[in-house]
Structure 1
Amino acid sequence: MNYSSTHSYRKVAIAACFGTFLEWYDFLTFATLAVVFAPLFFHASDPNTALLASLATFGVGMVVRPLGAAIFGALGDRIGRKPVFMITIALMGIATVSVGFLPTYAQAGIWAPALLVCLRLLQGLSAGGEIGGSAVYLTEHAGNEHRGFKTSFLQLMGPLGILFSTLQIALLRSTLSPEEFLSWGWRVPFWISIVLLLIAFKARMALEETPVFLELIKNNQQTESQLLNNFKNPEIRKRMFLLFLCVSSSGAVLFFCVQVYTSIFLKTTVQISATLVDQLSIFSTVALLPLTVFAGWLSDKFGRKPIVLSGLILGAITILPAFYFMETQGIAAKSGNWTSLIIIAITLVWLSGILALVVGPQTALLAEFFPAKSRNSAATLPHNLAAGWIGGLLPFIVTWVNQCRGNTIAGLWYPTLFLATSALIAIKYLPETRDTLLTS
Structure 2
Amino acid sequence: MTDSAAAEEHTVDRNDRLVILASSVGTVIEWYDFYLYGSLAAIITVQFFSGVNETTGYIFALMAFAAGFAVRPFGAVFFGRLGDLWGRKNTFLVTMLLMGLSTFVVGLLPSYAAIGVAAPAILIAMRLVQGLALGGEYGGAATYVAEHAPPGKRGFYTSFIQITATAGLMLSLLVILGVRTAVGEDAFKDWGWRIPFLVSILLLGVSLWIRLKLAESPAFARMKAEGKGSRTPLKDSFAKWPNLKLVLLALVGLTAGQAVVWYTGQFYALFFLEKTLKVDGPLANILIAVALLLATPFFVFWGWLSDKVGRKPIILVGCLLAALTYFPLFHALTGAANPQLAAATATAPVSVYADPADCALQFDPIGKTVFDSSCDLAKSWLAKAGVTYANIAAPAGSTAEVRIGDVVVTSFDGAALSRPDFAARKTEWEAGLGAALAAAGYPARADSALVNKPLVVAILFLLVMYVTMVYGPIAAALVEMFPTNIRYTSMSLPYHIGNGWFGGFLPTTAFAMVAATGNIYYGLWYPVVVALVTVVVGFLFIRDRKDVDIHD
**Correspondent of 2:546 among 407, 410, 434:** 434
Corresponding position of 1:346: 458
CA distance in 2 between counterparts of 1:428 and 1:133 reads 29
CA distance in 2 between counterparts of 1:273 and 1:337 reads 11
CA distance in 2 between counterparts of 1:169 and 1:291 reads 25
**Correspondent of 1:27 among 31, 34, 40:** 34
**Correspondent of 1:245 among 232, 249, 252:** 252
Worse-matched range after superposition: 86-95 or 144-153: 144-153
CA distance in 2 between counterparts of 1:339 and 1:170 reads 18
CA distance in 1 between counterparts of 2:249 and 2:292 reads 28
Shift of 1:362: 1.1
Corresponding position of 2:14: 7
Question: Could you list the runs of 5+ residues in structure 2 that have no partner in the other structure?
Answer: 1-9, 341-445
CA distance in 2 between counterparts of 1:354 and 1:255 reads 8
Matched, 1:97 2:209: no
Q: Which amino acid aligns with 2:525?
A: W
CA distance in 2 between counterparts of 1:223 and 1:374 reads 7
CA distance in 2 between counterparts of 1:395 and 1:403 reads 12
CA distance in 1 between counterparts of 2:160 and 2:463 reads 19
Corresponding position of 1:398: 510
Shift of 1:335: 4.5
Shift of 1:44: 3.8
Corresponding position of 2:142: 135
The root-mean-square deviation of aligned C-alpha atoms, in Å, is 1.5
Shift of 1:201: 0.8
Worse-matched range after superposition: 148-157 or 175-184: 175-184
Q: Is the 8 A contact 2:316 2:535 kept in 1?
A: yes
Corresponding position of 2:474: 362
Corresponding position of 1:282: 289
- 1:360-393: CA deviation from partner (whole Å, max 9, x where unpaired): 1112112111111111110011111111111111
Shift of 1:179: 2.6
Corresponding position of 2:156: 149
Corresponding position of 1:62: 69
Q: Is the 8 A contact 1:25 1:162 kept in 2?
A: yes
Q: Which amino acid aligns with 1:109?
A: G
Corresponding position of 1:235: 242
Shift of 1:337: 6.3
Shift of 1:430: 1.2
**Correspondent of 2:536 among 424, 427, 435:** 424
TM-score normalised according to structure 1 size: 0.97
Q: Is the 8 A contact 2:333 2:456 kept in 1?
A: yes
Structure 1 residues 99 and 335, CA gap change in structure 2 (3 angstroms): closer
Shift of 1:339: 7.4
After superposition, residues 94-243 of structure 1 pair within 5 angstroms as 94-243=101-250
Shift of 1:336: 5.6
Q: Is the 8 A contact 1:296 1:360 kept in 2?
A: yes
CA distance in 2 between counterparts of 1:6 and 1:253 reads 36
Q: Is the 8 A contact 2:253 2:536 kept in 1?
A: no
Q: Aligned residue pairs: how many?
A: 438
Matched, 1:374 2:374: no
CA distance in 1 between counterparts of 2:183 and 2:510 reads 32
Shift of 1:323: 1.2
Shift of 1:311: 0.6
Instruction: Kindly name which structure, 1 or 2, has the bigger radius of gyration based on alpha carbons.
Output: 2
**Correspondent of 2:307 among 253, 278, 300:** 300
CA distance in 2 between counterparts of 1:175 and 1:376 reads 42
Shift of 1:145: 2.4
CA distance in 1 between counterparts of 2:12 and 2:289 reads 34
Matched residue SS, 1:407: coil
TM-score normalised according to structure 2 size: 0.77
CA distance in 2 between counterparts of 1:438 and 1:4 reads 19
CA distance in 1 between counterparts of 2:448 and 2:491 reads 48
Q: Which amino acid aligns with 2:286?
A: Q
CA distance in 1 between counterparts of 2:173 and 2:74 reads 29
Matched residue SS, 1:131: helix
Q: Is the 8 A contact 1:93 1:194 kept in 2?
A: yes
Q: Is the 8 A contact 1:82 1:209 kept in 2?
A: yes
**Correspondent of 2:272 among 259, 265, 271:** 265
Corresponding position of 1:383: 495
Q: Is the 8 A contact 1:16 1:138 kept in 2?
A: yes
Matched residue SS, 1:100: helix
